[in-house]
Structure formats: structure tokens, C-alpha cells
Amino acid sequence: MSGLANSVANGRTTRPALLKAAVRELWDELRIARATMYSRARFRSLSRKKNLKLHLGCGVDIKQGWLNVDLRVGGVVAASLPPDTQFISHDLRLGLPLHNASCIYVYSSHCLEHLDAAHGIQLLRDVHRVLQPEGKLRLALPDFRSLFAAYLRKDEAFFKVMEAGVAVPRFANARCWADYVNYAAYQFGEHRAIYDEENLALVLAEAGFRRISSTVFDPAVDPDTPLRKAYSFYTEAMK
């Protein structure tokens, strides 16, 4: 927990703590700007490519044969990627520096909720632009309806799956059901927006997509982990 979060938790938020948090946020933005300084040149090298498969917010799930995009500040991606596979470190708040109609398929899992609503719709409009006619977008997002339903019925098994799937002991201080909901919904400030099937369909339509439909887990593309399978909903849309 950050120094500011500790101060808030202890009921003693101070001006120095607020200043320290602001400086840390500015420093993070400077590191992000530096990390993505060369991303546009990398994208320009793809200017003549067509039928790209684009994976947004890939994390560690580097898909072979795809253009994988995520923001890595000080992170490392395997140097020996297959020849048909690329990774570009890029801040998705800046849009997609790809040519119109250069992609046949765009996929993203648990990424859109990390952008605020304005950046989210901006990114989806850009995805629509870079997709070819009849190109497909597939999204996996946190299933907050299931989360809140599990909270209301006090479903211990549901939250045990969540707890087991988190790589670090974030739940050590969990005292009650709401602590689990706070983590899942806000993820210590990393989550910036909440979507469900209804409002995601509206946002996709606003971005220009058609034939928007809810779908199910697909082992060919979706991360096959108990956490993601239990805590995701899936939507596809066509350009």
C-alpha cells in the first residue's frame, strides 16, 4: 500500500502525503513517456502490413503470430520472440499509430477497465479505424455482476478462486467480504471504469461497431486460468 493509502487508512491524510503522491504520479508519467518514446517508430515499421492480429494490453500473454502491445515501464519481454511475433511497449491512452484497415482481428483481455471512460471510447474508436471491413474485435472484461452477486450471497468459493489466482498476498489484511470487492472493483486504483454486457454494447456501438454479441470462453485465444474463467465476460463485435 502506498504512503498516501496508508495515511488515508489510518485516518490522517496530510499535506506532505498528498504532495508525495502527486510527485510519484508525475514521476510515473515521466517514466511512461520515456518508455513509449520509440513506439511510434516501431509502429511506422508496420506501415505496409495488412491482416495484422493485434493484442492490446497483452501483459505476459505474448501471443505467437500477433502484434502484442502493452505498457512496460522497466519491464522485460523475451528477446527471442518468434520471427512472426512482435511486442511494442506503448501507452494506449495515446491511441494506435497504425494505418486504417491494417488489422483483421483485435483482442484484449482485462485491459479496457484500466483506462478511464474517455480514453476507453477513444481507444475503441481507434480499434474500429484500424480494423478491416468485417474485422473482429473480441474483449474479455471483469464480470462485476458475478462479483457483486457473490458478495451478496457470501460465496466463499468464488472469492477463494480469486484469492488463489492473485500472484502476491494482497488479501493478507482482508477482514470481511467488502475487502474482496474493493480489491476486485478498484484494484488499488488501477481500475478506472466498470463495464457490463449492456454498457459495453452501448460503448461499442458508439465507437462504430455492429453485430455486437455476448459470447463464452474460447480456449483458442482467452487465458485459460481459473481466475480469468471465473471472473470474466466475453463480447465480440464486427466492423
Name the residue ranges covered by the structural domains of the chain. Answer: 1-35, 51-239
Helix (H, G, I), strand (E, B) or coil at 57: coil
Helix (H, G, I), strand (E, B) or coil at 144: helix
pLDDT in tens, 10-63: 445 677 766 665 555 554 545 555 666 677 788 888 888 899 999 999 988 999
Report percent pLDDT > 90 for the chain: 54
Q: What are phi and psi of 8, to 5 degrees?
A: -65, -45
C-alpha cell at 45: 515499421
Percent of the chain having pLDDT more than 70?
78
Its CATH class, for the domain covering 51-239, is: alpha beta
pLDDT digits (tens, 9 = 90+) for 54-76: 999 998 899 999 999 998 754 55
Asked if 129 and 122 count as a contact pair (C-beta separation under 8 A), the reply is no
Q: What are phi and psi of 61, to 5 degrees?
A: -85, 75
C-alpha cell at 112: 479496457
- Residue 164 grid cell: 488463489
Which pLDDT value is given to residue 5? Answer: 42
Residues near 104 by beta carbon (within 8 Å), at least 6 away in sequence: 50, 51, 52, 53, 131, 132, 135, 136
pLDDT (tens digit per residue) in 97-148: 999 999 999 999 999 999 999 999 999 999 999 999 999 999 999 999 999 9
Please, what's the b/e burial string for 183-197 (b: 16 or more CB within 10 A of its CB; e: otherwise)? bbbebeeebbbebeb
Place of cell 517514466: 31
Q: Nearest-CA neighbor of 98 among 140, 30, 161, 51? A: 51
- Asked if residue 167 has pLDDT above 60, the reply is no
Q: In this model, does residue 151 exceed pLDDT 60?
A: yes
DSSP-H helix ranges across 69-196 = 117-130, 144-152, 156-165, 177-186
| Mean pLDDT estimate for the chain | 84
